[in-house]
Structures are given as C-alpha cells and as structure tokens.
Structure 1
Amino acid sequence: MTQAVTTATALVSVLAEHAAKADAEGVFPHESVQALREAGLFGLLVPTEYGGMGGDLGDLVEVAALLAGGCLSTAMIWAMHCQQTDVVVRHAGERLRTELLPRIAEEGYYLASVTTEPAKGGHLLSASSAIEADETELLVRRSAPVVTGGEHADGFLVTMRAAPDAPPNQVSLIHLHRGQADTRVVRDWNAMGMRATRSVGMELDGATAPHQVVGTPGEFRRVAMDSMIPAGHLAWSACWLGAARDALDALVALSRSRQRPGGLDTRSELVRHRLGRARVDLELASAYLLRARDEVLLRRRTGASMDVRALHMQLDTLKVACSELTFSAVDRLVQLGGTMTGYQRDAAVPLERHFRDLRSASLNYSNDRLLGAIGTLTLLDGAGQLF
C-alpha cells in the first residue's frame, strides 16, 4: 500500500463527516479540501524533486476511488485539480514548473480548469475567446459557464484561441494566478447533485506572462491528447466507481445489521438478485477502468504516443461506460432500498445523494458528444481490435 493510499484511507471518514452538510447547503467542502491539502494529497502527481509525492495516474485512480467513497463532490474537486497538475508536470516549461509545482506540493495550491465557453459549451479542442498580446503580457478575457470550485481556486488553466486571427481549433492553454485577474461569479450553482463542487459560471479578466503558456502556443490539442483527456477520464471514472462501490457496501452492511429494514431480508431471492445486478455493473466498470489505466501507464512508461485513435476510442468508451454503469448500479440500489431506505434524504445509507450525484456523470462532458465521436470512428474501422 502506497503512502498516498494509506493517507487517503485515513481521510475517507473526514470527507464523509462533512458530505451531507455540504450537499444540503450547496457549499464548497472547505474542511474536506483543507484536510487533503494538509495531508499533501494535492501534490500527489508532483514529482519528488519539486516536493510532491511523485505519484502516477495509477495512484490517482486508486486514491480518487477511495475519496469518492467519503464524498464524491470533494473527490471530483481534488481529481480535477490533479488532472490540471498532470498537465503542468508534462507540458509546462521549466520556469513555470519551478514556480508552480512546489506551491502545489507544499501549499496545496488549487488549480481549476476553465475549458467551457458560452458559444461552444464543453467542446474541449476549440475556443472562441482569443488571447491578445502586448509587449510583455498576454491579456486574458474569458467567460466560462462551468468552473468546478472556481470561487476557491488559487489559479486556473484556461483555454483560449491562440490569437485574434487564429481559427477556433488553434488553442493555447494558459496558467493564470488568481492575483493576476479580476474574477467574478456570473452564475450560481444550484444543481440537483454534485452540489458541493460549486461549479459556478465565471468571468476572468487579467494578464499573464508568456512563460505561463502551457505547451506550445496554439497546440493545446497535443496537451489534451497526451494528458488532459487521459487523466480526466481515468480520474472521473474512478470517482464514480468509488461512490457507487460505497453505496453498495453501505447497503450490504445495513442488510447484515440489527437495524436492517424488512425489505432488505437477505434470504430473499429478489434482494440477492438486485444486489447481484448492481455488483455486475460495478465489476464491468472496474474491469474497463483497469484496462484503460494499464494501457495509459504502459504508453507513458515506454514513451509511446498517446495520440492514437484506438486509445482515445477506449478512453471515450471508458467515460461513457463508467458514467452509465455506476448510475445504473445506484439506481438499482435505490429500488432495492425502497421509499424509506433508498429515497429518503435522511436514510441510514445516503443512496439519495449518490443517485443525484451520479446522475451528473453522463452530463459531465456529455455522453452524447462522446458517442458521436465513437460512432464516427466506428464508421472508419468497424469493431476494431477487440481482443
């Protein structure tokens, strides 16, 4: 067991302690996030030479699943920060890495992602707002309808069109310190689930230095294919799986306890059947997550290209499959729990919160968009190499 896993295991109860209140009030989970910072987990992916834990995406998957068992909103905030950290580690210049990575490791500097825009929604590889350059700075004026934890971030990684005359697919990724920008919340977050992520709409207006461009200017696609997409899909899927696994474990524990409701009689074939179907959903999600994780880790170890059609088909499939299967599992558990155990907000097992949170999974970078991309690739190579 790694240090990170040991640390995360000890913190699950902290996250669980604050999860219900943060969800009910729709507030950022300050206590839980601070606990992760103080434990050094915000620096999980920061190399040891910069003061971090030196973890890889395998560690990210394992820790994300653990934390999500305590609070899915907190786990997602942390996982998306780690996604941005991975981008900095792999693609920032040495000056920016030297400035930023020690702060992430030592202070828990929180990086938020700004990739959505009103005109394009969540489409990752294009941008509408353009960078404007003067003699020494790059001017950033950006509106984003969804920024997870944006009110509380210390810095942002922002996608922008590379220049006013650049096409929409010529995108740069820019790091912007909060102190370099005026930030304003323009839309509140009053969502069905994932309420504590505080994924508000924001406007950013500031200026940054040229060395704060991450990757080659105008070539964000390379950054996304190598880092942002693999890290994001693996981390999100692990979070969803961890939350659904916690829901199943908690319901099974309740069924074995003296407080067991009558509808959870473990001698019932129907109860066993429904538990079995939920377990099958999670086994399938877990197996595909581990397959994708291993492929990404192998490519990173060997230096193989990540910009491979078959890999991104696999990553898109991972996101769609895990988002659907984990929600399906919890939906089955709600049905099994019934009105009192499955549907009540104050039930002994928080199935109602898990249900609302996991309903967002298919909307978080829309499955419809990903299925369209998968369908387009399927027209090119059919079933592909399945074995």
Structure 2
Amino acid sequence: MRADLASVDGGAAPAGVADAAMLLAAARTVAGIAASHADQVDRDAAFPGQALAALREQGLLGALVPREYGGAGASIETIAAICRILGGGCAATGMIYAMHQIQVACVVDHGIGSAWHQDLLRRLAAEQLLLASATSEESIGGALRTSSCAVNADSGTLHLLKMAPTISYGAHADGILVTARRHPDAAPSDQVLVCMLRPDYTLECLSGWDTLGMRGTCSNGFRLEARGSVEQVLPVPFGEIAEATMTPFSHIVWAALWTGVAADAVQRARTLFRAQARARPGVLPPSATRVAEAVAIIQLMEGRIELALNHYRQHRQGSGGMSAGFALAAEMNSVKTSVSALAIEAVQTALLVCGMAGYKQGTPYSLGRHLRDLWSAPLMINNDRILTNTAHLLLADRSS
C-alpha cells in the first residue's frame, strides 16, 4: 500500500506497475490542489470542488473500472495508495474518493453480467461520475445489514423512499447506491443494493453538517425518493455484497486514508524537528524520542494495512471455506479498529513535538485539522460495534 509504487528498478516497467505509477503521479497532482484548499474546505464545511474537478481531469474517478469498460483497471492496492496520498492533502477529499471507490467496487464485483450495470461502468469511466452511498436510516441508525425502506416494484419499474440521516456529499454526487429491503414484505435483513442516477431521484435536505472534522464531506441528512427500473437493482443479495466487497474494501481504503492524514501530521513534526536540530548543531532536540515514536506508529499502520491487503487478495483467489471467511471478516474489522486508533495516537504524538506551533492555526505545523478529522475514524461504523461483531465471529469460528 506504500505510495512509492512508482519506483521500478531499471528497464521498462511492467504494464501494471507503470499504470499504477501514472495513477499515483496523478493523485499527487490532485493532492497538491486539495491541500491548497483544505483549510478553507474545513473552515467553511465546503465541498472540495476544486479537488474533485482535478480528480475528474486526471481520470481518477474511473480508476477502478476494468479496462474493457474504459477504466484503468486499478487494483485495490493502487486505490488504497491513492487514498493515502489524497489524505495527506485533504482528509475530506480523500474520504470522498474512498467512499466513491467503495461503491464502484460493488458494481465491478457484482454487476458484471447485468447489461444495465455494465453500461454504468462505461459511463463511470467516460463521464467520471461520482457515486455516493445511502445505507443508514433514521429508524435504524448505522446498522448496515438492516433496512427499513423497501423497493416497491410494479411492471418493471421501482419506487423507494429512504429517510437517511447522512448521505456523504449526496448533493454533489451523480448517483447514489441505496440499500433497501427486497420488497415491502421482506425481512429487514433481506436487502438489495439499488444504483440510482441523478435523474432518478430527488433529495430534500433534512439536516446540516456542522461537525468537528471531515467537514468537507458535506454529509447532510436527506429524504431520498427514487424511481427507476428494476434493472438498476444489483443482481446479488446485499448481504453477499457487504461481506465480499463493501466491508473489506471500506476498511482497507479508510485505513489507508487515515494513514495518509496521520503521515502528513508526522511529516510536519519531522520538519520542525529538523529545523530545531539545525538551529543547535550537535544537540539532539528534546522532541527526538517523540519523533521516533510517531514514525514507528506510521510504520505499524502501514504494516497492518499491508497484512490486510495480503489476506484480502488471498481470500479472493480461493474460497478457503467458512473458516477462512470468518478469519477475513475478523481481520478486516481489526484493521479498521486498530488503524483508526493508531492514527489519532500518531497525530497526538506529533502535536507533542510541534507544541504551540502545532496547536495554533495558520502555521506550517498546525495539526488541529488533522486531529479533528481523525476523531471521526473510530466513529465511522463505531469501533465498539465492530469489536462486538468481531467477538461473535471469533465465537463462531471453530477452526482453532
């Protein structure tokens, strides 16, 4: 997941490595634009429009779409590396990109074979559409595997109404993937995932987004009413989509993003540390051990994500049975809870190095935005809920 995938030892790079290098170079360009607007985005809780325009210009919104549909065919490793790079520039931009790619991954993994969804993939690549997600509901909160709203189908058309307490960047998206019960008489857990595009739905804003951090994600609450074709329902039950793709992909790319935010904070601390060392040659600044500690935390986060990527890749190459499925789910839960906590620890350690220069706004070493953005990390699918789920998985797994 390291952002140095572009380095290749001698000779012509293999196509996949060269393509990854180009995507990462494009991400660095976008990250620079995002960074120049990050403070304003945070201050005004403004959608990062300049960064999203740059993502479109660089073709990065369609990076995950397979080549046969006009995309770059990027791997999850490359997408995670892009998320890390963007997170170093602007956490809100990186989170929007990560959440968009989670939706694209669901269509790629579970929509192939459906003519409507294959056409959507072509449009994603050609038009650089931005996809959002509506999974939470006022009556059920953030319980991903439960829906209250239902698909009402009649003669090939569908209608659904969802009261969503948050839809991140919903007002700015070109489409929204919506969870709902399969039909009005279905159980709350009998869910489908419906791909709705901008002409198919209306949004009525129900609540604002005045938060501590991640302010640029503009995650307002909405009344979402959609009408379309039954062809827009992904042909796989949502439970399978969530288990195989949405949950593991989410935890990996979120962890990569949080690592990027924390790494930028630690880099600011290292820059100040070097300046202190140059000011007094031969004397190690008092913050030396804290810098070493912060760098070690980032390395631990990187290793944790790399391990999760390896497990995810191995699982997709072969089923491994029920026991392997339990192990993967526990692993993905663990990477989310551990990295979300370590990211905060890394920034708090960096803040001890930067001192008042980090505590104050408007300095080269300011870390307030980083810390406020990362306080959202343990709350995005609350860590307590995830740890409880992991405990149930460990009980159910009889392999050891």
Deviation at 1:142, TM superposition (A): 0.6
Tell me the equivalent position of 2:336: 319
Gaps of 5+ in 2: 1-5, 7-19
Tell me the equivalent position of 2:54: 35
Q: Which runs of 4+ in 1 moved over 3 A?
A: 257-262, 301-307, 378-382
SS of structure 2 residue aligned to 1:69: helix
Tell me the equivalent position of 1:277: 293
Tell me the equivalent position of 1:145: 165
Match of 1:345 among 361, 381, 391: 361
1:89 pairs with 2:89: no
Task: Provide the C-alpha distance between the structure 2 equivalents of 1:178 and 1:130, rounded to a whole number of angstroms.
Answer: 20
Q: 1:116 to 1:131 in 2, by over 3 A?
A: same
Q: 1:54 to 1:304 in 2, by over 3 A?
A: farther
1:58–1:297 CA contact under 8 A, matched in 2:
no
Question: Deviation per CA, 1:278-325, whole angstroms, max 9, x where unpaired?
Answer: 222222211111001111122334466798000000000000001000
SS of structure 2 residue aligned to 1:41: coil
Deviation at 1:56, TM superposition (A): 1.3
Question: Deviation per CA, 1:21-66, whole angstroms, max 9, x where unpaired?
Answer: 1111110000001100110000110011111110011111111111
SS of structure 1 residue aligned to 2:354: helix
13-22 or 291-300: bigger deviation:
291-300
1:44 pairs with 2:63: yes
1:231 pairs with 2:249: yes
Q: 1:261 to 1:354 in 2, by over 3 A?
A: farther
Q: 1:355 to 1:260 in 2, by over 3 A?
A: farther
SS of structure 2 residue aligned to 1:299: helix
Deviation at 1:261, TM superposition (A): 9.7
130-139 or 73-82: bigger deviation:
130-139
239-248 or 116-125: bigger deviation:
116-125
Q: 1:259 to 1:51 in 2, by over 3 A?
A: farther
Q: If the length of structure 1 is used for normalisation, what is the TM-score?
A: 0.93
Tell me the equivalent position of 2:269: 251
Write the letter of the residue equivalent to 2:39: A
Q: CA RMSD in A?
A: 2.1
2:273–2:288 CA contact under 8 A, matched in 1:
no
Write the letter of the residue equivalent to 1:141: L
Task: Provide the C-alpha distance between the structure 1 equivalents of 2:63 and 2:235, rounded to a whole number of angstroms.
Answer: 21
SS of structure 1 residue aligned to 2:61: helix
Q: 1:257 to 1:336 in 2, by over 3 A?
A: closer
Gaps of 5+ in 1: none
Deviation at 1:380, TM superposition (A): 4.3
1:140–1:208 CA contact under 8 A, matched in 2:
no
Tell me the equivalent position of 1:242: 260
2:175–2:198 CA contact under 8 A, matched in 1:
yes
Aligned residue pairs, count: 378
Match of 1:21 among 25, 29, 40: 40
Deviation at 1:343, TM superposition (A): 1.3
Tell me the equivalent position of 2:303: 287
1:329 pairs with 2:346: yes
SS of structure 1 residue aligned to 2:150: coil
Task: Provide the C-alpha distance between the structure 2 equivalents of 1:118 and 1:51, rounded to a whole number of angstroms.
Answer: 38
Tell me the equivalent position of 1:114: 134
